[in-house]
């Protein structure tokens, strides 16, 4: 389901209808910023869990019957890294191996790869990780001072898109706000210009600090003709993966922490007081800790003890259930599972990756759309004679495979499919073009070593070929 926010046109028409007064550009920017600020906690929570800062860390300490916090009571806050593992597994599965661009003209592909640079795969991995945590992340193409095309990741917290449509496919405008020193900078981007502001006490002030200009084109020599911000969406709803299993992780962390606290307390004893004169239990506990003894005035008084037993077996079952739910709701591959044995077959591996494939395919579709849009800027800047939608984008899923089975399948496919297809799908081949070139070179070297059936030397054969060519 797509986000249900109204479009800017619908909002504008509603304002005119109710107030009979159109809003100014600055009023619109402030309204969007205030609405976006309410969403920031949803962006941050996924990133916090990824950075090992779950809710349990911020939970208040437990209190006794009097409402006071006992500093001597165990209060362990054990946390897990489930969310980070699930996100890393998905992203590494999708783009752990470099993506491939394919086109009929290899020169075009070489220019694209050169323009993107060697660090593009690393940037893509980072963007998709943040998108998985927040629901969406942005890339901003720009021209640097040397005239080179660069790409900058814009955090979702700073990005305020103004969409033309409910499906969030086309941008009407884009607002970016960020803090530098003590100033909150605001940029308003449309298809041609950038307006610069400073956000101060709920008002916008024109920012003239940029060469005494508060408005500029996208770059020194002109503009893109479109808004240069590309959304990398995690899903249609633009929501974090965390919300699929957050409650399960919270329950796991709390039970794990409670168990640790019970183990700490199990070293102590529960005291049963008989005819104890002083009713202050805290005073009793202090005396026991410091002196190891108490005083009873009554002849029949005394202290009995009860040993604390930790319900280990029930805890293990509960934690196992939560773990399985996290793996299920997180659509993960559980490599610790013994369901498939130590060396699963090809069919078993396919079943093992079923849920992860579903999750990765969803992200792959969104990522492909974003990369195609990014390629438009590369093609436009380098004046390449190609439509960006004609570039085929392939993801090489980083899957644990049964290599022996794949080799057997490749051998049995010879003569059924093309030789090039067999090589492309061979488990030992990572770069098809490089492998084909190596095969060609090997054949050439082998032919040079073979004796001539005509009795001619290599030089004579080469001269004969040259004469035929002429």
Q: Say if residue 283's pLDDT is above 90.
A: no
User: What mean pLDDT, rounded, does the chain reach?
Assistant: 83
Stretch among 123-137, 174-188, 215-229, 300-314 having the lowest mean pLDDT? 300-314
Q: How far is 20 from 12, CA to CA, in rounded Å?
A: 11
pLDDT mean over 249-259? 94
Which structure tokens are listed for 168? 């969030």
- Six token digits for residue 390: 């004609």
Domain range list for the chain: 8-60+104-239, 269-307
Q: Name the DSSP letter for residue 417.
A: B
Q: Is the predicted pLDDT of residue 322 greater than 80, yes or no?
A: yes
In this prediction, residues 112-128 reach a mean pLDDT of 94
State the Cα–Cα distance between residues 263 and 257, nearest whole angstrom. Answer: 10
For the chain, percent of residues with pLDDT exceeding 90:
52
* Most confident region among 51-55, 345-349, 434-438 by mean pLDDT: 51-55
CA 333 to CA 337: how far, in whole Å?
A: 9
pLDDT at 355: 93
User: Mean pLDDT over residues 78-83, rounded?
Assistant: 94
How many beta carbons lie within 10 A of that of residue 249, not counting itself? 25
At residue 245, does pLDDT exceed 50? Answer: yes
Q: What is the pLDDT of residues 421-468, one digit of tens each?
A: 777 766 667 667 777 778 888 777 777 776 665 555 555 555 555 555
| pLDDT band (50, 70, 90) for residue 31 | very high
- Comparison of pLDDT for 411 and 259, the residue scoring more: 259
The encoded tokens of residue 34 equal: 């205030």
**Residues 289-296: what's their mean pLDDT?**
56
Confidence check: pLDDT of 242 > 70: yes
Whether the CB-CB separation of 162 and 153 falls below 8 Å is answered with no
41, containing H or E segment? helix 40-50
Q: What is the H or E stretch that residue 313 is in? A: helix 312-329
**Looking at per-residue confidence, does 289 or 423 come out higher?**
423
Is the predicted pLDDT of residue 337 greater than 90, yes or no? no
CA distance 257 to 236: 35
pLDDT in tens, 364-381: 999 999 999 999 999 999
What distances in angstroms separate CA 108 from CA 116, 245, 387, 388, 395, one per listed residue?
Answer: 12, 43, 11, 11, 19
Three-point CA angle 117, 118, 121, nearest 5° = 100
The pTM of this model reads: 0.78
Helices 354-382, 82-95: inter-axial angle, 10-degree rounding: 60
Distance in angstroms (rounded) separating the CA atoms of residues 8 and 164: 7
């Amino acid at each position: 389901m797509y986000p249900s926010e109204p479009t800017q046109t619908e909002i504008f028409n509603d304002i005119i209808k109710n107030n009979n007064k159109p809003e100014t550009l600055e009023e619109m920017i402030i309204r969007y910023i205030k609405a976006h600020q309410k969403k920031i906690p949803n962006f941050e929570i996924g990133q916090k869990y990824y950075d090992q800062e779950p809710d349990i860390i911020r939970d208040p300490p437990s209190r006794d019957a009097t409402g006071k916090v006992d500093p001597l009571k165990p209060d362990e806050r054990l946390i897990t890294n489930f969310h980070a593992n699930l996100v890393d597994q998905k992203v590494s599965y999708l783009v752990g191996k470099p993506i491939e661009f394919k086109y009929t003209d290899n020169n075009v592909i070489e220019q694209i790869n050169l323009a993107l640079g060697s660090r593009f795969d690393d940037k893509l991995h980072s963007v998709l990780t943040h998108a998985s945590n927040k629901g969406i992340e942005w890339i901003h193409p720009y021209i640097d001072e040397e005239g080179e095309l660069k790409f900058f990741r814009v955090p979702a917290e700073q990005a305020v898109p103004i969409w033309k449509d409910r499906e969030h496919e086309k941008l009407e405008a884009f607002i970016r706000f960020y803090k530098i020193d003590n100033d909150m900078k605001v940029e308003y981007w449309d298809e041609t210009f950038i307006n610069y502001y400073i956000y101060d006490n709920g008002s916008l002030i024109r920012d003239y600090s940029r060469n005494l200009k508060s408005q500029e084109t996208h770059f020194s020599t002109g503009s893109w003709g479109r808004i240069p911000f590309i959304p990398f969406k995690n899903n249609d709803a633009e929501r974090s993966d965390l919300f699929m299993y957050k409650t399960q992780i919270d329950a796991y962390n709390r039970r794990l922490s409670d168990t640790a606290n019970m183990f700490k307390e199990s070293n102590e004893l529960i005291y049963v007081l008989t005819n104890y004169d002083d009713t202050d239990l805290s005073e009793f506990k202090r005396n026991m800790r410091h002196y190891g003894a108490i005083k009873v005035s009554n002849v029949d008084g005394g202290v009995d003890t009860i040993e604390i037993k930790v319900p280990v077996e029930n805890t293990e079952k509960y934690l196992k259930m939560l773990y399985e739910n996290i793996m299920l709701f997180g659509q993960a591959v559980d490599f610790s599972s013994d369901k498939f044995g130590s060396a699963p077959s090809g069919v078993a591996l396919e079943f093992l990756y079923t849920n992860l494939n579903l999750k990765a395919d969803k992200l792959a579709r969104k990522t492909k759309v974003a990369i195609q849009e990014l390629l438009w800027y590369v093609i436009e800047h380098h004046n390449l004679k190609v439509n960006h939608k004609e570039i085929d984008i392939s993801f090489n899923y980083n899957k644990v495979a049964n290599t022996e089975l794949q080799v057997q399948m490749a051998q049995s496919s010879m003569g059924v499919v093309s030789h090039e297809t067999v090589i492309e799908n061979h488990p030992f081949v990572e770069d098809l073009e490089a492998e084909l070139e190596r095969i060609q070179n090997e054949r050439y070297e082998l032919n040079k070593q073979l004796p001539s059936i005509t009795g001619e030397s290599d030089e004579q054969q080469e001269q004969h070929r040259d004469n035929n060519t002429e």
